[in-house]
Structure 1
Amino acid sequence: MTVITSTAHSRELGDELRRLRETCTDLGGRAMAIRLGWDPSKMSTIEHGKARASEVDLVQFLTACGKDADYLEMFRRRYEKAFDEYVIQMHDDLRTLVFAESTAKTLTNYTSNGLAGLIQTPEYADALYRLGGFVAEERIPDLVRFRGERQAILRRHNGPKCLFYVHELALRLQIGDASIMADQYARLLFDAHLIRVVPAHIVIPSSGCVLWEYEKAYPVAFGETDLAKLFVQDPGAIARTRLLFNHLDQVALDAGQSRSKLAEYVGQPRGDLDVSGPYLA
């Protein structure tokens, strides 16, 4: 076992090991450690993603949970990159994303050519997926439902403190029909306390990103394309992400001005259709 800095991916996989222990055995963490001949502190650090388990550790743990050789190999492949500062995942793999955002203390998001998934209405999300043309029709309802379920963190009493920077040009993109846009504008106005609007004339040379910060772990920067998700914990990249959000804080409208700007759009959906840009989380 090697103790190193945890990452969003290592904490997600550590949590998965904990859930496997709880669902596949009748053992608590201490009892499992005793069965494996480990110190209880080793069990805790591995299940919290704070230490890299050796391949032998993983085999011992997963075998005790009743997993076969195929499962062992699958988990080993997922685990081998868990502590890297840059982790790339397939776009359909959403487990690390959900764990990272739901366990964060603060979540800061900037979107340039769209609205963050956490502040989209179901109808807007559905229309957005259909406009892309690369998501199978039968998968769209599940993707929309999942996006809605993620939004529960905005209503949790102990959820992350969220701030969304939204470029005004994104507000002018018509996604779906006028009714969908009217409902989306109303939703944004309802969530105006979470939103800072970047005026249309301001140029921000960034496609958008998310910064998650934690009480007892290093920050994680997140970005995505239509093809892959990227989780970054490199200190230099985190510093650059902070510079972006510091700049946005300076150029964006303040809270009251942002609410007023959003109110201008309520009941006035735009007719121009322009769906260029990324499908952001």
Structure 2
Amino acid sequence: MPYFLSLAVLAAVVFGFYRYATAAGRRRTAALAAGFPAAWRGLLAGHVAFYRVLGAAEKSRFEQRVQLFLADARITGVQTEVDELTRLLVAAAAVIPTFGFPEWAYAHLGEVLVVPDAWVLGPDSAQEMQPLQGTLLGSVQRFQNQHYMRLSKASLLQGFADPEDRQNVGIHEFAHLLDEADGVIDGVPQVELPPHLLGPWAATVHREMEALRAGESDIRPYAGTNEAEFFAVVTEYFFEKPDQLQAHHPELYALLTELFNQSPGARRDPSEFGPRSPCPCGSGKPYEDCHQATT
């Protein structure tokens, strides 16, 4: 092969590799440069309670995180349409548990498959961290070094439609991926939990699961399946009914605030307060002169 032709081939290979290696970064940059569509903002405000109670700066950060997730993720409908609302709810479910970690990305999420409704898992189906048989609303399955998530569209929509039922299949399944960041889905999210809290976490989980199995807990019974499901279920509880979790399980709530680096119980929907009501942040100022000004 002539020398100059060899150089041209090498240059083409290098350029092709460069384009491949920088594709994700270019997608992310383009997504943020496009701005956040007003229609998306309306859908989030109408369907995602977590988003509604954020201040202006946090809303903007949440929107950017949604854009970046959608730039990275493949979301595919299986016998159902994946419309804008469905895509946004998948993204919101991914962002909510990681909102306290500004640089978080689900590095090994291969694809999110959205199916119409619940499905029956047969005895020969290999689903990670799920019972061998039963009806499922969501699942995480590993293939090589990637994870594939399956979500019931009906359950995803219902989870956000009722933000206080302590159930959200999207948040539940993304909690499993957060748990898996240390390499295994075992209910001990070591990447997020400071080392000095690993002991208290294990002791608290053991005590709470014992109470649950004895019928002395308001945590959803499915949490008693194993430690991984316990973590995913209480993550739903933490973000949907933080005040109730804090009242009934104060030690567990305190550990989860450390783990997620956020305290959803401190946030309040502005519609709950009049303009001259004392601000719930404890500043002593009227609400309109404090937090209301930033929402």
- TM-score scaled to structure 1, two decimals? 0.27
- TM-score scaled to structure 2, two decimals? 0.27
- Bigger RCO (CA 8 Å, 6+ sep): 1
